[in-house]
Structure 1
Amino acid sequence: MLVAFLAGPAISQAASGFDPIEVRLVAQEPRGGPTAVVAGDDRKLEVEPETLLGPSDFVSVSQVEWVEGKPGFNVVLTPAGAEKYERISTENVGRTLAIIVDGKILMTPKILDPVRAQGFLLTLNTEPEAQALAAKVRQVVAPN
């Protein structure tokens, strides 16, 4: 379960050097690559330079719902994005992903097996935080 505190400016690639929502691999060893702050504890993790999934791989953001006592929302992949995610997970079993939103790492799931999924669930501590982040991501993933 992801628990994150998010605050700061509106989503912007220029501000963070990252896409508004993206998935990368966590670097296995330091190489001087890009780093991102882990939301909630300000620790920095180095990530691989390549973006594996970016805004164009997502199709929608669900409304905020309560899941296991936490407010959260689903970010849904396009069919092509879901295929990429399955391939990425198959090729990288044992590695750790970094799911980055608004320039911060929200979760770092370890790939235990190939994954067939249509998206991700992101949860936060409070409903206002979840609503604000869902609205930011929705602007990028499903622009009006």
Structure 2
Amino acid sequence: MKRSIPLLFAALLAACAGAPPSAPQHSFDVHTLAERPSAGTRTLADPQGKAVLVVTQPVLTQRDVQQAELASVADGKPAVRVLFTPEASQRLAKLTREEQGKALAVVIDGQLRLLPKVDRPVTDGRVLLQGFASRAEAETLVRRLNELRDTPVQPEQGAGGQP
């Protein structure tokens, strides 16, 4: 029996080494913020490293994006215009009515990238995301959103605490 353990271990290592690498999973989610930690929340770091408590279940995902395009705001800084599907536009209108005056968490590839404040209800299904460090960052998001809209949504990993 003791002699077979090294053989089993070697076979297990060989099987793991032969497994094909998994393709990177990308995601785009919009989450509401939470006031208190619970089983349905998790903590993410915003771009400045500040801890932000978000509801784990996203309200909108990449499947809800109909189209994304590069835009710019009055000061010439880059922005991304996102058009949501008709069904998602209804959810967005309800969400922005309920969360008016609060921020929403835009999570890209598991990282909190933007915390836009809801100034008014969004009833036309279009949002303008601002706050990008560079034009290249905004262009990357546009490309990713247009690629991701047909990608299946991956279930959340771990509901409480850090991802």
* TM-score normalised to structure 2 length: 0.64
1:65 aligned onto 2:81: no
Gaps of 5+ in 2: 1-22, 152-163
Distance in structure 2 (CA, Å) of the matches to 1:101 and 1:120 = 16
Q: Superposition pairs for residues 22-101 of structure 1, below 5 Å? A: 22-31=29-38, 33-39=41-47, 41-62=48-69, 64-67=70-73, 68-101=75-108
Shift in alpha-carbon separation, 1:127–1:25, aligned structure 2, 3 A: same
1:136 aligned onto 2:148: no
Shift in alpha-carbon separation, 1:112–1:60, aligned structure 2, 3 A: closer
Q: Shift of residue 26 of structure 1?
A: 0.7
Residue-by-residue CA offset, 1:87-114 (whole Å, 9 max, x unaligned): 1223344543212222222332344543
Distance in structure 1 (CA, Å) of the matches to 2:86 and 2:94 = 13
1:12 aligned onto 2:18: no
Matched AA of 1:127? R
Alpha-carbon RMSD: 2.5
Distance in structure 2 (CA, Å) of the matches to 1:109 and 1:65 = 16
| Larger Rg belongs to | 2
Higher relative contact order (CA 8 A, sep 6+): 1
State the aligned residue count: 126
Shift in alpha-carbon separation, 1:115–1:65, aligned structure 2, 3 A: closer
Residue-by-residue CA offset, 1:29-53 (whole Å, 9 max, x unaligned): 23362222212x1223110122111
- Check whether the contact 1:95–1:111 (CA below 8 A) recurs between aligned residues: yes
Shift in alpha-carbon separation, 1:30–1:55, aligned structure 2, 3 A: same
Q: Shift of residue 141 of structure 1?
A: 2.0
What's the counterpart of residue 6 of structure 1?
Answer: none
Identity of aligned residues (%): 24
Q: Shift of residue 27 of structure 1?
A: 0.8
- Check whether the contact 2:44–2:112 (CA below 8 A) recurs between aligned residues: yes
* TM-score normalised to structure 1 length: 0.71
Gaps of 5+ in 1: 1-9, 14-19
1:105 aligned onto 2:117: no
Distance in structure 1 (CA, Å) of the matches to 2:124 and 2:24 = 25
